[in-house]
Amino acid sequence: MISHPLGRAINFFWLRIMLLLSEKRIVEGFELYAFSDASDFFEITPRALSFLKETDPRRYKRTRQYLSRIAYLRLGTDYFYPALSAFIVDSFPKDNPQFFAAQIVHETTHAYLESKGLRYTPKTRERHEMICLNQQKYFIKRAVLRNESLSEEERKEVLAQWDQWFQEELNSHWWEPHKMRLRQMDRLRDQLSQFKKLFRKGAISKDEMIPGSQGTGNK
């Protein structure tokens, strides 16, 4: 999370520009944006939200309350952006709406914690991430236990695999600033390349600059 006021202002402006250039849809009251790969994103996100609603109505209700936007912008990391009440998506599993639903639970938990006064700062970063990972883990466990197509042994096996995955995530400390900066620089180069394509003469019309218009961001 950017702490310097000027940095926050620049970041906010950058995000607004990217949302302006993204394709937009509204699904179940959520504003969805996609700067690229729009068809895949708009196909899987409603499925993920439906799975969340069916599997865990309480966490779905929390998502409706604390998250207004889900925006696929490829900025190097998934994160919650409080000023826009937005889950900024870096990547999503194109064939696994169940796991994407778990990602939404994770970022919604960040939003919930922020609303209760636990700000995301260098001092609270690790605590934030551990709480959110645990909520994500509880959701996945609930989904696995509700899956009637699995036998008891299969459930145990799947949950053991997820326990290992979550432990590896915790051990990786992906939230450390230097690791995030490396990923963000790679994504920034990708975005600058996309902007060059967008603003090449004749690349997009005036109408296509309108947020939510067909064609913008769908490369």
Averaged pLDDT for residues 57-65:
97
Instruction: Tell how far CA 218 is from the center of its chain.
Output: 18
Residues 90, 74: Cα–Cα separation, whole Å: 4
Residue 7: what pLDDT? 64
Residues 71, 83: Cα–Cα separation, whole Å: 13
Residues 181, 161: Cα–Cα separation, whole Å: 29
Burial of 150 (0-12, 13-18, 19+ CB in 10 A): middle
Residue 189: what pLDDT? 54
Q: Provide the edge-to-edge strand list for the sheet that holds 86-89.
A: 23-27, 30-34, 69-72, 86-89, 79-81
pLDDT tens digit sequence for 4-35: 566 678 878 889 999 999 999 999 999 999 99
In this structure, what token pair is assigned to residue 30? 């959520």
186 pLDDT band (50/70/90 cuts)? low
How does the average pLDDT of the chain come out, rounded?
82
Three-class DSSP labels, 72-98: ECCCCCCEEEHHHCEEEECCCCCCCHH
Residue 174: what pLDDT? 67
Averaged pLDDT for residues 195-210:
40
At position 35, the amino acid (one-letter code) is F
pLDDT tens digit sequence for 104-140: 999 999 999 999 999 998 899 989 999 999 999 999 9
Residues 139, 75: Cα–Cα separation, whole Å: 26
Residues 120, 40: Cα–Cα separation, whole Å: 30
